[in-house]
Amino acid sequence: MKPQEFFVAQLRQMCPSHLNLAEELAGLLNLSLDSIYRRLRCETDISLEETLAICAHFELPLASVLEQQPNMVAFRTNSLGGDSESFTQYLKVIVADVMGMRSDPEFEIVYAAEDLPVYYNFFFYELARFKMVYWNKSILGAKDMVGRRVEEVEVPNHWVEQVPIARAAFLGVKTHEIWNEDTLKSTLKQIRYYWEAGYFRTSELPLRLCQDLFELVETLNKQAQAGRKYNPLNNEFTDVPFRLYSSDLMIGSNTVALKSRHAMASYLGYHTFNFMRTKNADFNRFTMDWLDNMRQKGVLISEAGEKQRLQFFHSLNRQVEELREAISRSS
SS3 for 306-318 is: HHHHHHHHHHHHH
User: What is the pLDDT, as a whole number, of residue 184?
Assistant: 95
User: What is the pLDDT, as a whole number, of residue 82?
Assistant: 58
User: What is the pLDDT, as a whole number, of residue 246?
Assistant: 94
* Mean pLDDT (10-residue bins), the chain, 331 residues: 78 77 91 92 89 84 60 68 66 78 84 92 89 82 80 80 86 94 94 95 96 97 96 95 92 88 82 77 89 93 89 96 96 76
User: What is the pLDDT, as a whole number, of residue 78?
Assistant: 65
User: What is the pLDDT, as a whole number, of residue 231?
Assistant: 96
User: What is the pLDDT, as a whole number, of residue 180?
Assistant: 92
The domains of the chain, with CATH numbers, are 3-66 (1.10.260), 76-330 (no CATH)
Cα 320 to Cα 315: distance, rounded to the nearest angstrom: 9
Cα 133 to Cα 154: distance, rounded to the nearest angstrom: 9
Q: Which residues pair with 276 in a beta bridge?
A: 77, 268
| Helix, coil or strand: residue 253 | coil
User: What is the pLDDT, as a whole number, of residue 79?
Assistant: 62
User: What is the pLDDT, as a whole number, of residue 84?
Assistant: 59
The DSSP letter of residue 107 is -
